[in-house]
Amino acid sequence: MEGKGVRFHFTAVIMGVLILGLIVAQIEAKSCCRNTIGRNCYNACRLTGTSQSACASLCDCIHVSGNTCPSTHPRSNMLERAPPLKGCCKDTLGRNCYDSCLPTGSPRPCATLCDCINVYSPLTCPPTHPSSNMLESSGAIINEYCKLGCTSSVCDAITTTNKNSDVSEGEVNEAVEHCVSACSKLCNKGAKTALASA
């Protein structure tokens, strides 16, 4: 009987050490993922008992020893707010597409759809994507788009850009609808402003 009691206590101590080791590993190594999909992938992977390093590799995540995730992998496993986000586009067409897509879409699909990128901290657009998400309100630019045909010059670019992308046809059609609506609002507002100033 004494042998079984010793084995029980020994097993309990071993289990306690293993559980404590897992807790310490979770505290010391913070996982950071590029996006929500990566975070969900990582969490699901860890639930199966797969190692942290294998899950991180599989789900495009990394481990850091501090409390801050790098800007390349902004999503941590703590309940924290995502860092500020800025959409950067190559040109005004991409910017208009991105801004039209955002009200009903999320930043990642909108960036893919409009040939833009999302940057986190620091909120600085790279030279390849110089346009920030500050809306240009110059009357000359608005008039130019309305004269050229906002819908044909901007919204048609959405369909053309996404023929070879992984975005579904439904998402593209929805983005085009929002783009047409945004063009209508922009050009009608411009016309009302012109009439008011005349």
Model-wide pTM > 0.75: no
For 107, the token pair is 């930043």
Domains belonging to the chain, first-starting first, are: 2-76 (3.30.1350.10), 86-197 (3.30.1350.10)
Cβ proximity of 73 and 34 under 8 Å: yes
Integer Cα distance of 33 and 75 in angstroms: 5
pLDDT of the chain, 198 residues: tens digit per residue: 555 656 666 676 666 555 544 544 444 467 888 877 778 788 888 888 888 888 888 888 888 887 778 877 776 544 344 556 788 888 888 888 888 887 777 788 888 888 888 887 677 888 888 765 444 445 556 666 676 677 776 677 677 666 666 667 777 787 778 777 777 777 776 544 444 444
Element (H, E) at 61: strand 61-64
